[in-house]
Amino acid sequence: MRAARVSLAIAAVIAAISSQALAERTIRGVVVKVDGISGIISVREMHPGMAGAISYGTAEEFKVQDGLLFDAVRSGDEVVFSASEVNGAMTITKLSEQ
């Protein structure tokens, strides 16, 4: 009985870790808009193509986990960031400028 509980607990931990890893994604793009009042940064995702060509997707809005990011980026900056779903909204968790 105890072995079954331990196995069930381990399975629950593995499921939680894998769902968290799947929820986070890394994105490369260009900052389109920085709205410090709303706590949102809009980013146009970059899609590398053939022969080094780059195409851009539509702009997406992301909440910001750390308010200091608003001082770090401006419209037109190329960035790489990680985003995950927090309270139902895609939220930037890590950001670095290119």
CA–CA dist 4, 12 (Å, integer): 12
Whole-prediction pTM: 0.67
- 50 located within any domain: yes
Q: Quick check: is 75 in a domain?
A: yes
CATH number for the domain that contains residue 39:
2.40.50.320
Within a domain: 70: yes
Tally helices (H) and strands (E) across the chain. Answer: 2, 5
Instruction: List pLDDT tens digits, range 18-76.
Output: 445 446 888 899 999 999 889 999 999 887 665 555 667 788 999 998 887 888 899 99
Of 73, 21, 72, 20, nearest to 43 by C-alpha is: 73
Domain count along the chain? 1
| Residue 10 within a domain | no
Predicted confidence (pLDDT) per residue in 71-93, tens digit: 889 999 999 999 998 888 999 98
Domain encompassing residue 91: 25-97
